[in-house]
Structure 1
Amino acid sequence: MMFTTRFAPSPTGRLHRGHAFSALTGWTAARDAGGRFLLRIEDIDPTRCNAGHETAILNDLHWLGLDWERPVRRQSEHLADYATVVDALDRRGLLYRCFRTRKDILDAIGDAPHGPAEAARPGPHPTDEEAAFLSEGRAFAWRLSLDRARDLLGDRAWAGLSFVEEGRGPMGEHGRLRARPETAGDVVLARKDAGTAYHVAVTHDDALQRVSHVIRGEDLFEATHIQVLIQTLMGWPTPVYRHHRLLTGPDGRRYAKRDASVTLAQLRAEGLDPRTLRAELGF
């Protein structure tokens, strides 16, 4: 398989130095390998994403000197694809409706005797309770049942879930690692008012676009565990993962979109040459 990686920002704000570092890391890796570099816009949340931010992202990346394959994949244009994945998992009995609110889950975490991971596996509602909630039209989320997934795969396959980490996780994790989806609990894969969630869209698109290497910040390292499980359940290949360090400012805090002083747009406005920024970031 040809070396293929992607940069996949969400258009919820302006890019900053940390985004530039991540994009350049992936773009450079693809160029050095003679491979493909893709740009994907992860805009499945209509309440936070907007076209103006997407335009700004494209402008920032062009200013940095990056190029990518066309067309750009926008996830908001493919919601039906992700709904098909959710439906496939549901038809295999791997999902259940959860009517609990975020506050209910947080309260359960605080009361759980076995810690947060145990509380994040609330399990299905009793049949009569679920029927009553449905008749009321109450909002719900589709959660992936780890118990049902383990039963389907069998203990041996469950214990064999793994991925290759070519970079470093937050605790220095490297090499062939065992995937531990239980640390994520029964994650939400869709909601009644939203057809999909991040884990479904990202794994579907990585498989569809034949991404061989996922290069991203170490803040997403823990997400890998549940994504490996979804890939296995759907029969999709598991890419090689390469998590990188997160950039921090002079105060030691990681860069964030809310900090307008470090956005690439602000740096451009101040007259910074993109070659200078690339050199500062080690490229």
Structure 2
Amino acid sequence: MIHVNHLSFSYTKQPFISDMTFSVSPGEIFGFLGPSGAGKSTLQKVLTGMLASYQGSAMVNGVECRERTRDFYEDIGVDFEFSALYEKLTARENLRFFASLYEKKPCPIDELLETVGLERDGDKRVSQYSKGMKARLNFVRALLHDPSLLCLDEPTNGLDPANSRMMKDMILAQKAKGKTILLTTHNMQDAAELCDRVAFIVSGRICALDSPHNLIMSQGAATVTYTWLENGEHSAACPLHRLSADGQLKRLISENRLQSIHSSEPTLNDIFMDITGRTLI
């Protein structure tokens, strides 16, 4: 689906994206993770044909992005962080307009609005929509022509927990339909929940690339911590993979003397900081 080889890009004489190489398989949710200014959105713009003056190769659906034609966009849906909706138009009017830009027969507009719970607000001007409603409408705008590739830039940014959950469920529903999804975010929880693989990007370079699970486990396995009473409260910790060798834990379990037991493992954010030495702020 996507093949990037030694990609570099610069807005000035200084490189902004440097020597990136990666591939994305069909049906995969692939995340670009990093702090603001790391190059995530610029990379998305290269892959959607908006920036053509790059070095190296960026192939999407078998097309070199700098050589894309109008047909290139017939199979790509884009939902960038800032809304592309016309606020003086209603939701239905917006969707009809954007549908007219494609050669493909559009998905039924009423069905799309119903999918995101906006069927009763379809004739309301977008200027009257809340931020969450605009985010949902902008998302289905990217689905109008049923593209096989979705490029999503910070799709949950600024949403309340309920709208964020709805957005993530919609993304997973599109993956279940076989769509390939590029997800740009600085939200590590979203990335861990949604992505099959993630690339850590800092200062225009990929510092690590793997599944969230593999990245977490590569930096240290989960640890089990337990407490018990014995002349006061005591606690101990043991790596998860060595539980069977912990004689003290076995004894406490057999004597039913455990006060508490829980496991913990590094978060994806912890791993990002360990690998890059940076925070996401």
Indicate whether the TM-score tops 0.5: no
TM, length-normalised to structure 1: 0.26
Compare the two structures and name the one with the higher strand fraction. 2
Larger radius of gyration: 2
Compare the two structures and name the one with the higher helix fraction. 1
